[in-house]
Amino acid sequence: MELQIEVTLRTGARYRTRKYKSEISAKRGICKWLQQNQHQVDISASYFSPTLKQHQSFEDAEQLQMLLPKTSTDFYQSLAWRKLRMRVLQTQEHRCTICNRTPAEHNIALEVDHKKPRSKYPELALDINNLRILCLDCNRGKADHEY
């Protein structure tokens, strides 16, 4: 049986559904629909993610910005990324999770890193559980690998 993702698109009290063959195509469709309907006051799109095994809901195309065909720097300039990055920096210990060094003791810079890289897992780009704090050296050394 072929996987199908059923997406519910809501504008005010009106609902309609669309079916997609993959989760990534569903997210692209949602992103496009949200962009086209951004002038509407009360819109949302949702579906059940078989990958994450939970319901996913979106009200703004920026939540899916990583799916838009832009350069990688656009993602890091997005409001959604900057807010999430600040949340990670405020809630996690200011210490590299690989080498355990701190800015205060070792005069290093810290960065917020994706455990599973955005290039391979775009759906996890704004998932706080996929983020951690690394020093500049460890982040550059790991490249596009998962650790």
Q: Give residue-wise pLDDT tens across range 107-137.
A: 999 999 999 998 889 999 999 999 999 999 9
Count Cβ atoms within 10 A of the Cβ of residue 39 and give its class: 0-12 exposed, 13-18 middle, 19 or more buried.
exposed
Instruction: Answer yes or no: are the C-beta atoms of 54 and 7 closer than 8 Å.
Output: no
Confidence of residue 143 (pLDDT cuts 50, 70, 90): low
Q: Which helix (H) or strand (E) holds 80?
A: helix 79-91
Tell me which residue of 121, 123, 117, 112 sits closest to 54, measured CA to CA: 123
Q: Given this model, what pLDDT does residue 105 score? A: 94
Confidence of residue 97 (pLDDT cuts 50, 70, 90): very high
Count Cβ atoms within 10 A of the Cβ of residue 14 and give its class: 0-12 exposed, 13-18 middle, 19 or more buried.
exposed
- Note the pLDDT tens digit of each residue in 18-74: 999 998 889 989 998 998 998 888 999 999 988 888 999 999 888 887 776 555 567
Confidence of residue 144 (pLDDT cuts 50, 70, 90): low
**Average pLDDT in the 9-17 region?**
94
